């Protein structure tokens, strides 16, 4: 078959189209193969990662020891060591807390009495004052049973008093003395023994009883800086069998800057007033028309009548518009 030029050109074009088509098909096949290979590699990668994760979980499970008694016993020394370390840390912290708590407590305690060069005169002025004021005072304590009851009553009414304590009794009941001080009451001095023949042997023995009792107070409170600056002579500061010695002792006390006080009202609880009514009535009688009152009572362990009368006495002065005071009024920073 013969071909003309036109035919030859046509055949040539057909052949070129055929070749071009083959190239396109080959490219498609190669692209498909590459895509397939990429997909296969991706899935293999995912399978490998999944396998590794599973293997790690298995290893963790296998390596974890069982909670057997043997394992627990083996671990106990480590636990004990840790426990001891924690306890030591706790104890160190508690020591710091206790120091802080102790310091805080000291800050909240009543202030210590302060020496007052004019104290003796200011005490004398109490008796001459027209101010409605009452100083509740208790002698001969502290005692085992009566003093705590008196403190309870004073706390109930929020009243502060003055306790003229005996050194010998302070040695027996230091905790009660601490309570008196910590609750804001004034601790004053009534001598050591309350044995008149011993106290008033001479002026020096009188002052020695004061010094001895001051040390008892310091020791009971645990505060060596405490000084009361105030003494009440057993039986009063004048008169009676030992009047001469008392006069000499007063001068000696004055020379050391120690004041003293008596009273201008009493309940008679140290005499023959053995009931609450009798004590209250004696208080009314001895008070008379006085506005400024220093009331004498006792907190020895046989003074149940004082405990019974005290609420009524306090309520009486409250109703009459009196201000309750103790001797911090005299011996404090001004």
Q: Enumerate long-range contacts of 236-244, CB under 8 Å, 24 or more apart.
A: 236/262, 237/262, 241/196, 241/200, 242/196, 242/200
Residue 97 CA to residue 8 CA, distance in Å, equals 113
Can you give the pLDDT at residue 37?
A: 80
Can you give the pLDDT at residue 65?
A: 40
Tokens of residue 108, six digits: 């909240």
The pLDDT tens digits of the residues spanning 283-321 come to 999 999 999 999 999 999 999 999 999 999 999 999 999
Contact 260, 252 (CB under 8 A): no
Q: Say whether 139 is catalytic.
A: yes
CB-based contacts of 154, cutoff 8 Å, min separation 6: 136, 160, 161, 183, 185, 310
CB-based contacts of 190, cutoff 8 Å, min separation 6: 139, 140, 164, 165, 166, 213, 231, 232, 234
pLDDT in tens, the chain (334 residues): 333 444 444 434 444 554 455 554 556 656 767 777 876 666 676 666 655 544 444 343 434 444 443 443 344 444 444 444 434 543 443 344 333 333 333 435 568 999 999 999 999 999 999 999 999 999 999 999 999 999 999 999 999 999 999 999 999 999 999 999 999 999 999 999 999 999 999 999 999 999 999 999 999 999 999 999 999 999 999 999 999 999 999 999 999 999 999 999 999 999 999 999 999 999 999 999 999 999 999 999 999 999 999 999 999 999 999 999 999 999 998 7
Please give the sequence-ordered ranges of beta strands (E in DSSP) within 39-90, or none if there are none: none
Can you give the pLDDT at residue 95?
A: 42
Q: How many CB atoms lie within 10 A of CB 12?
A: 10
The pLDDT tens digits of the residues spanning 32-46 come to 677 778 766 666 766
Domain 119-329, CATH = 3.20.20.370
Tokens of residue 50, six digits: 């999944």
The pLDDT tens digits of the residues spanning 249-277 come to 999 999 999 999 999 999 999 999 999 99
Q: Peptide bond preceding 209: is omega within 30 degrees of 0, i.e. cis?
A: no
Q: Say whether 269 is catalytic.
A: no
- Which listed residue (140, 185, 298, 299) is catalytic? 298
Nearest CA to 109 out of 181, 159, 174 is that of 181
Can you give the pLDDT at residue 300?
A: 98
**Residue 134, helix vs strand vs coil:** strand
Each domain of the chain, given as residue ranges in start order, spans 119-329
Q: Enumerate long-range contacts of 110-113, CB under 8 Å, 24 or more apart.
A: 110/181, 110/182, 110/184, 110/328, 111/328, 111/332, 111/333, 112/223, 112/225, 112/226, 112/227, 113/186, 113/226, 113/227, 113/228, 113/229, 113/230, 113/327, 113/328, 113/331, 113/332
Q: How many CB atoms lie within 10 A of CB 276?
A: 20
- Which listed residue (139, 140, 269, 299) is catalytic? 139
Can you give the pLDDT at residue 96?
A: 40
């Amino acid at each position: 078959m013969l071909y003309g030029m036109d035919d030859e050109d046509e055949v040539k074009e057909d052949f070129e189209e055929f070749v071009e088509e083959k190239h396109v098909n080959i490219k498609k096949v190669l692209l498909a193969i590459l895509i397939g290979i990429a997909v296969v590699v991706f899935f293999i990668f995912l399978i490998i990662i999944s396998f590794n994760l599973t293997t790690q979980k298995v290893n963790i499970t296998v390596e974890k020891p069982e909670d057997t008694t043997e394992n627990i016993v083996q671990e106990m020394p480590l636990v004990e060591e840790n426990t001891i370390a924690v306890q030591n840390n706790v104890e160190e912290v508690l020591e710091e807390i206790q120091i802080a708590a102790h310091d805080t407590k000291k800050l909240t305690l009543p202030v210590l009495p302060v020496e007052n060069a004019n104290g003796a005169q200011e005490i004398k002025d109490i008796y001459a004052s027209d101010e409605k004021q009452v100083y509740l005072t208790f002698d001969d304590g502290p005692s085992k049973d009566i003093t705590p009851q008196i403190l309870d009553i004073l706390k109930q009414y929020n009243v502060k008093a003055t306790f003229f304590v005996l050194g010998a009794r302070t040695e027996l009941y230091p905790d009660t003395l601490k309570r008196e001080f910590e609750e804001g009451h004034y601790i004053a001095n009534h001598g050591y023994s309350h044995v008149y023949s011993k106290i008033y042997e001479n002026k020096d023995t009188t002052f020695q009883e004061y010094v001895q009792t001051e040390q008892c107070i310091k020791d009971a409170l645990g505060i060596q800086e405490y000084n009361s600056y105030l003494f009440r002579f057993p039986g009063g500061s004048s008169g009676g069998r030992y009047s001469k010695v008392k006069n000499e002792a007063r001068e000696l006390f004055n020379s050391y800057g120690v004041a003293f006080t008596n009273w201008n009202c009493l309940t008679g609880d140290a005499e023959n007033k053995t009931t609450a009514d009798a004590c209250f009535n004696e208080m009314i009688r001895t008070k008379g028309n006085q506005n400024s009152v220093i009331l004498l009572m006792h907190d020895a362990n046989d003074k149940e009548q004082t405990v019974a009368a005290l609420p009524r006495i306090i309520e009486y002065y409250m109703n009459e518009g009196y201000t309750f005071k103790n001797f911090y009024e005299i011996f404090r920073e001004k």
